[in-house]
A and B are shown apart, each in its own frame.
Chain A
Amino acid sequence: MPAMEIDETLQLFLEEARDHLRDIETDLLAIETETGPADVDLVNKVFRGIHSIKGAAGFFGLNRIKELSHSMENLLNRIRNLEVVPGRTAIEALLKSADVLSSMVEDPSRSEDVEIGRLLELLRDANATRSKASATVDIPDPQGRVIFRIPEDDLELARKGGKNLFVMFFDMVKDIDAKGMHPLGLVKELEKTGLIVESRVAHDADGNLLGDAGFVPFHVFYATVLDHEMTCLLTGLPPSSVVAFDGERKPVAAGKLVAAAKKAAPKPSKRASQAAPPPERKTAPSTPVADPVVTESDKPEPEAIPAGATPRGAAQGNTSPSSLRVNVKSLDRLMTLAGELVLSRNQLVQKVGSKNIAEIQASSQGLSLIISELQEAVMSTRMQPLSMVFGKFQRVVRDLAQDLGKEIRLEVEGEDVELDKAVIESIGDPLTHLVRNAVDHGIEMPEIRERSGKPRQAVVKLHAYHEAGKVVIDVSDDGRGIDTDAVREKAAAQKLVDPQHLANMTEKELVNLIFLPGFSTAKVVTDISGRGVGMDVVKTNFTKLGGVIDIESRQGRGTRIRVKLPLTLAIIPSLLVSVQDETYAIPQVNLVELVRIPAKDVRNRIERIGDALVMRLRGHLLPLLKLSQVLGIATPTFVHPESGEQKPDRRTRVDDRRGPRERETPEEKERRRNADRRYHSESAINIAVLSAGTFQYGLIVDRLHESEEIVVKPLGSHFRNCSCYAGATILGDGRVSLILDVVGVTRYMNLSDVAGSDRSRDEESRHRQKLRDAQSMLLFRVAEHEQFAVPLSLVSRLEVIPRASIEKIGGRRTIQYRGGSLPLLELSEVSQVHPLPDQDEYFVVVYAVGGKEVGLIVSRIVDIVEASVEFDESTFAQPGIIGSTILSNHTTLLVDLYDVVKTSLPGLVKAPELDAGRTGKVLVVDDSPFYRRQIAGYLKECGLEVVEAVNGDEALALLETTGGIGLVLTDVEMPVMDGLELTRRVRSIESLRHLPVVAITSLSGEEAERRGREAGVDGYLVKLDREKILAEVEKLLLRRGHR
């Protein structure tokens, strides 16, 4: 057999061995985790894998591989026969051996030098019941030369089930090659019907006697249920070459071929590739015994790939990534498409000649269809299952858990989800880091778990699935979760974050701090996760791939890290934007939304805090970057919208806009009259809101263009220090456009999540300050020219009623409502306002007083507005009206819903009667005199004594100097010291710790309430809700009184 062919054969063997070994690890781990008796099928599978490696290794003269696999096989066999329990030692030994075996298979030429003595010992120890110095049986050939030395145990094993034992003498050239057979094929064939106990190419046969190089003897010691005749048939050997072994030291006398076999003798060689083709062949070409010339047709067919070896991608890890196994079907499809492409091109060329536009268009459409399909087909050849990455984690988790003394089960789901080869290759390391982190930091020791009522065995879960065109990988554990206090401490100790901001951070923000460079919360820096490679690197790695990482953690319950990855990297959908005449691409995966701020709104929406620009977007503040500033695009120009003329832009700040017109100077008015471009629609600001890992920012660009699928190309080495680009692409017109690295830009501009949120918090509180007394107001009319308002928070419902449904009973109007009657009130009954006009339908504002609902009849509902206003209490003061203000450009009267009821239905309104002497005074803290008076009014009505303060600071001073304060009612948003801070201070003063504090605010909502509760307030109420305020005051004061 020519050297090249045996090289090919060796290659085949190695690839197969790799396949076997790859599965073996997973299988062994599965065997180990099984409770009770071993899963025979699984053990069998491993056994067969190792066994076939052993068999073929012998054939290639890879003795160390053979020895090692042989030992493994022995142990596996005993496990299979339930003679050895697959415990930790056994599996450990097998895993270690599989590791070494893998590395030997990777580099067969050096495998003979690998020291395997220790491993063999390990395997033998695991095989403890086995007699130590196992006796061996020598199998001699007819000349009495020992060709095999087989341990008795093996012999016993081979005989089991009444198998026959044969020594078979093949001549590699004549019996295998010349018959069109393949050595590996033969080995496989034999394995099907029996067991190759031992096999080898007879290097050590004394072959120089006749100088006959035509023989390459291959000896096989074979155990089979077949009889002698059948074995001969199977192998195609003459009966004389198959010698039955009867357990005696001497096999039955052999025929002449046996004698011939002894003649052949290539020198022993360590190189597998040289093992079979004897160099002597060249020296003695004329030997007549066996013609060494192998004709083309005799070549072994390369189809010896076993049926079970499904096409897979390049093996993971150390195997060469430059080759890829592709499904033949995919190739066929590519071929078909290529054919289609050619046809389509021909058509197009023809039609271009005919100059028929419609036909050309049709052809080009067809062509583009084929190209899309082709693209998809090519991409699909690059897709690899995630099992390539997930596969190794069983081992990682097992080994780590063992080292750390933890009990952990790894659950894997979605291994068959496919990703681009490039993505698969790049996520291994960061994912490993996440898994190791989960095991090392996340999972508690079993004793601790038990103490906290969790099962001893922890679960780490890897779950991959498709979602919205992306692949999501969750790495979750049911461990201790992230200790946000520890994070806070650590961040403070390492001065990673300003301590003040740290105190205000939400749980989620704290958890995200672990992505900061140099962060690790592990109390002990272990060699497993604490090697300085932090989560920041993990995050960066994922982000580089266009991925997004998110972390969710619940203390004591566990942590889940979610990674979202694009399916491929080579072709990505992206948005084209431009600054002046430069076009850039932004990967769609980073794009959250596009915002266009019309020129007139710029001043309201974009604000400047120090040097930073921020934009208000649905209640959140978004840091803004100007692309032209990021890239240092010099001399900005302004293109005149009408003339197209280019002028230098005098604006240096985005927020440089005119103010409201009433504040304009005559000079400004003049300029505006000349069609001030700052108001022109072209002057609107375009913002791409981008996601950079865990936070978002807005990028201001001149123009937003269309979305395109772009092909990512690498940039040259001169740009390795430019962090702002992820690559380049070629646009439709052939020009090159750079792809922005959304994360790189933030790094370059030193924009970080933490900094961003700090800034936004400052701004947020400033903004809230502005809106601090904002309430939703319901505007309505009774008579058309008078507008009224009530706080929406007090309104239960709005109803429309036909006039006919109004009944008049006992001088009181009512309607049938929800099975009862609803008393109807009209404002003009109480206040000096115009009466209700005649209408077919009325609106009823339903609200509750004293636990009973009443309705206020109005003619028209105008609007609901957010208003942050002070009411004038004097101008329109009268019963039923609290005060007046301007809302929606109209003078509006604020209706006192309680007063209306009190006047019309005095029986309904109940104020708690409280004794100020027993309960103590109530401190009302509010910076708004209006609300202060309102609340004080409610309280005084109940007979309470009220002390007032305008902010938290003053309130604290009062609390210290004035005795007998039994309750604090405080506004939340106030200058100098806000209500939450006041509450915190009160709680920290020993003598005041139990003083009830109720927050009264115009900002309601869960989040605000949660923050209030965190600060330590006893109640959280909405301003002007007299009923609830009084009820809460009563409850708290009485509770205190009982104490």
Chain B
Amino acid sequence: MTQTETVANTDNLELTVFSVGDLLCALPNSSVREISGLRSITKVHHAAPQVRGVVNLRGQIMTVLDLGIRFGIGPVPEDRKARILVVRSGEEDIGLLVDGVDDVMNAPRTDLEPPPSNVGGISGSYFRAILKNRDDLVCLLDLDRILSDGD
């Protein structure tokens, strides 16, 4: 798994930090191909709940997942702050709808801690690690779990 290698082999992790509801989340920069502004999302009925819809990404139809719904904290509002993170899943690009992109940070690998056991619930299972950044706690996400079909 490339992500594990990134985590294991580098002393410093470059992370894209973004918010989903009140949560501060992060993904390694290496997995984020592109950060795109919000564009018109076409709803796809009958799709899984976390699927927000599809958008036109330079002529390709890209599926957009709503991380708010994925974490069980309600849909991400389509406002000016909202962003779509484009990540790669197998052969296709997937967009992750988030409330806003906050920062790009460098985090020493040693700062990563396993998620505390009381961070449970739906969202907890999508976290790989927790990182303390000044006063905030940043959750490093498990991309494969997020992209998986199930809940």
Q: Which residues of A contact B (CB under 8 A)?
A: 582, 631-633, 713-719, 721-722, 724-725, 727-728, 730, 734-738, 748
Q: For B61, give its contact among A582, A721, A736 (CB under 8 Å).
A: A736
Chain A residue, CB-CB nearest to B43: A582
What residues of chain B lie closer than 8 Å to A631, measured between beta carbons? 45-46
Chain B residue, CB-CB nearest to A711: B59
What residues of chain B lie closer than 8 Å to A719, measured between beta carbons? 44, 47, 51, 63
Chain A residue, CB-CB nearest to B62: A716
What residues of chain B lie closer than 8 Å to A718, measured between beta carbons? 47-48, 51, 63, 65, 94, 149
**In chain B, residues 34-85, which have Cβ atoms closer than 8 Å to a Cβ of chain A?**
39-40, 42-48, 51, 53-56, 59-63, 65
Tell me, in angstroms, the Cα distance from A722 to B40 when the chains sit together.
21
Chain B residue, CB-CB nearest to A719: B47
Contact A737 B47 (CB under 8 A): no
Contact B45 A716 (CB under 8 A): no
B92 at interface, CB cutoff 8 A: yes
Interface size class of B (residues with CB under 8 A): 20 to 34
What residues of chain B lie closer than 8 Å to A633, measured between beta carbons? 45
28 interchain pairs (CB within 8 A)? A582-B42, A582-B43, A631-B45, A631-B46, A713-B59, A713-B60, A713-B61, A715-B44, A715-B61, A715-B63, A717-B63, A718-B47, A718-B65, A718-B149, A722-B44, A722-B47, A724-B45, A728-B54, A730-B61, A734-B39, A734-B56, A735-B40, A735-B42, A736-B40, A736-B56, A738-B42, A738-B44, A748-B46
Tell me, in angstroms, the Cα distance from A633 to B45 when the chains sit together.
7
A717 with B61: in contact, given A734-B40, A738-B42 (CB under 8 Å)? no
Q: How far, in Å, is B142 (CB) from chain A's closest CB?
A: 18
Chain B residue, CB-CB nearest to A582: B43
A717 with B46: in contact, given A734-B40, A735-B56, A736-B61 (CB under 8 Å)? no
Tell me, in angstroms, the Cα distance from A203 to B35 when the chains sit together.
62
What residues of chain B lie closer than 8 Å to A738, measured between beta carbons? 42, 44, 54
Q: How far, in Å, is A580 (CB) from chain B's closest CB?
A: 10
A716 with B46: in contact, given A728-B54, A734-B56, A736-B54 (CB under 8 Å)? no
What residues of chain B lie closer than 8 Å to A735, measured between beta carbons? 40, 42, 56
Tell me, in angstroms, the Cα distance from A724 to B46 when the chains sit together.
8
For the complex of A and B, the 8 pairs showing the least CB-CB separation, nearest first, are A716-B63, A631-B45, A736-B42, A728-B61, A722-B46, A713-B61, A735-B40, A718-B63
Q: How far, in Å, is A209 (CB) from chain B's closest CB?
A: 56
Tell me, in angstroms, the Cα distance from A718 to B69 when the chains sit together.
15
Q: Which residues of B contact A (CB under 8 A)?
A: 39-40, 42-48, 51, 53-56, 59-63, 65, 89-90, 92, 94, 149
Q: For A716, give its contact among B40, B42, B54, B56 (CB under 8 Å).
A: B54
What residues of chain A lie closer than 8 Å to B43, measured between beta carbons? 582
Q: How far, in Å, is A1012 (CB) from chain B's closest CB?
A: 47
Tell me, in angstroms, the Cα distance from A721 to B56 when the chains sit together.
21
What residues of chain A lie closer than 8 Å to B55, measured between beta carbons? 736
Tell me, in angstroms, the Cα distance from A135 to B63 when the chains sit together.
72
What residues of chain A lie closer than 8 Å to B56, measured between beta carbons? 730, 734-736
Tell me, in angstroms, the Cα distance from A637 to B42 when the chains sit together.
19
Contact A632 B42 (CB under 8 A): no
What residues of chain B lie closer than 8 Å to A737, measured between beta carbons? 42
Q: A633-B45, A719-B47, A736-B54 are in contact. List 8 more A-B contacts (CB 8 A).
A: A631-B45, A716-B54, A718-B51, A721-B46, A730-B59, A734-B39, A736-B53, A736-B56
Q: Which of A582, A633, A717, A734 has the most chain B CB atoms closer than 10 A to its own CB?
A: A717
Chain B residue, CB-CB nearest to A583: B42
Chain A residue, CB-CB nearest to B51: A718
Tell me, in angstroms, the Cα distance from A633 to B60 when the chains sit together.
25
Q: How far, in Å, is A277 (CB) from chain B's closest CB?
A: 38
What residues of chain A lie closer than 8 Å to B59, measured between beta carbons? 713, 730
Chain B residue, CB-CB nearest to A722: B46
Tell me, in angstroms, the Cα distance from A734 to B60 when the chains sit together.
11
Q: How far, in Å, is A868 (CB) from chain B's closest CB?
A: 44
What residues of chain A lie closer than 8 Å to B61, measured between beta carbons? 713-716, 727-728, 730, 736
Q: How far, in Å, is A217 (CB) from chain B's closest CB?
A: 50
Contact B90 A717 (CB under 8 A): yes
Q: How far, in Å, is A700 (CB) from chain B's closest CB?
A: 16
What residues of chain A lie closer than 8 Å to B45, measured between beta carbons? 631-633, 724
Chain B residue, CB-CB nearest to A721: B46
Q: How far, in Å, is A485 (CB) from chain B's closest CB?
A: 41
Tell me, in angstroms, the Cα distance from A631 to B53 when the chains sit together.
14
Tell me, in angstroms, the Cα distance from A716 to B54 when the chains sit together.
9
Tell me, in angstroms, the Cα distance from A859 to B65 when the chains sit together.
77
Chain A residue, CB-CB nearest to B55: A736
Tell me, in angstroms, the Cα distance from A734 to B94 when the chains sit together.
18
Tell me, in angstroms, the Cα distance from A208 to B47 when the chains sit together.
71
What residues of chain A lie closer than 8 Å to B92, measured between beta carbons? 716-717
What residues of chain B lie closer than 8 Å to A730, measured between beta carbons? 56, 59, 61
Q: How far, in Å, is A696 (CB) from chain B's closest CB?
A: 23
Tell me, in angstroms, the Cα distance from A738 to B47 when the chains sit together.
12
Tell me, in angstroms, the Cα distance from A493 to B118 when the chains sit together.
59
Q: Which of A631, A633, A737, A738 has the most chain B CB atoms closer than 10 A to its own CB?
A: A738
Tell me, in angstroms, the Cα distance from A165 to B29 when the chains sit together.
74
Tell me, in angstroms, the Cα distance from A170 to B4 when the chains sit together.
61
What residues of chain A lie closer than 8 Å to B62, measured between beta carbons? 716
Tell me, in angstroms, the Cα distance from A725 to B54 when the chains sit together.
13
What residues of chain B lie closer than 8 Å to A717, measured between beta carbons? 63, 89-90, 92
Tell me, in angstroms, the Cα distance from A717 to B51 when the chains sit together.
11
Chain B residue, CB-CB nearest to A715: B61
Contact B44 A632 (CB under 8 A): no
Q: Which of B40, B51, B56, B60 has the most chain A CB atoms closer than 10 A to its own CB?
A: B56
What residues of chain A lie closer than 8 Å to B89, measured between beta carbons? 717
Q: How far, in Å, is B47 (CB) from chain A's closest CB?
A: 6
Q: How far, in Å, is A985 (CB) from chain B's closest CB?
A: 49
What residues of chain A lie closer than 8 Å to B63, measured between beta carbons? 715-719
What residues of chain B lie closer than 8 Å to A748, measured between beta carbons? 46
Tell me, in angstroms, the Cα distance from A160 to B94 when the chains sit together.
72
Q: How far, in Å, is B36 (CB) from chain A's closest CB?
A: 13
What residues of chain B lie closer than 8 Å to A727, measured between beta carbons? 61
Tell me, in angstroms, the Cα distance from A527 to B90 when the chains sit together.
39
Q: How far, in Å, is B91 (CB) from chain A's closest CB?
A: 8
What residues of chain B lie closer than 8 Å to A722, measured between beta carbons? 44, 46-47
Chain A residue, CB-CB nearest to B54: A736
Chain B residue, CB-CB nearest to A632: B45
Tell me, in angstroms, the Cα distance from A721 to B45 when the chains sit together.
11
Q: How far, in Å, is A710 (CB) from chain B's closest CB?
A: 12
What residues of chain A lie closer than 8 Å to B54, measured between beta carbons? 715-716, 728, 736, 738
What residues of chain A lie closer than 8 Å to B40, measured between beta carbons? 734-736
What residues of chain B lie closer than 8 Å to A582, measured between beta carbons? 42-43
Tell me, in angstroms, the Cα distance from A413 to B42 when the chains sit together.
46
What residues of chain B lie closer than 8 Å to A725, measured between beta carbons? 44
Chain B residue, CB-CB nearest to A633: B45
Tell me, in angstroms, the Cα distance from A631 to B45 when the chains sit together.
6
Q: Which of B44, B47, B60, B149 has the most chain A CB atoms closer than 10 A to its own CB?
A: B44
What residues of chain A lie closer than 8 Å to B44, measured between beta carbons? 715, 719, 722, 725, 738
Tell me, in angstroms, the Cα distance from A748 to B46 when the chains sit together.
10
Contact B46 A632 (CB under 8 A): yes
Tell me, in angstroms, the Cα distance from A983 to B46 when the chains sit together.
51
Q: How far, in Å, is B64 (CB) from chain A's closest CB?
A: 9
Tell me, in angstroms, the Cα distance from A737 to B62 when the chains sit together.
12
Tell me, in angstroms, the Cα distance from A582 to B47 when the chains sit together.
15
What residues of chain B lie closer than 8 Å to A632, measured between beta carbons? 45-46
Q: Which of A631, A716, A718 has the most chain B CB atoms closer than 10 A to its own CB?
A: A716
What residues of chain A lie closer than 8 Å to B46, measured between beta carbons? 631-632, 721-722, 724, 748
Chain A residue, CB-CB nearest to B92: A716
Q: How far, in Å, is B89 (CB) from chain A's closest CB?
A: 8
Q: How far, in Å, is A637 (CB) from chain B's closest CB?
A: 15
What residues of chain A lie closer than 8 Å to B47, measured between beta carbons? 718-719, 722
Chain B residue, CB-CB nearest to A744: B46
Tell me, in angstroms, the Cα distance from A632 to B46 when the chains sit together.
8
Chain B residue, CB-CB nearest to A724: B46
Chain A residue, CB-CB nearest to B48: A718
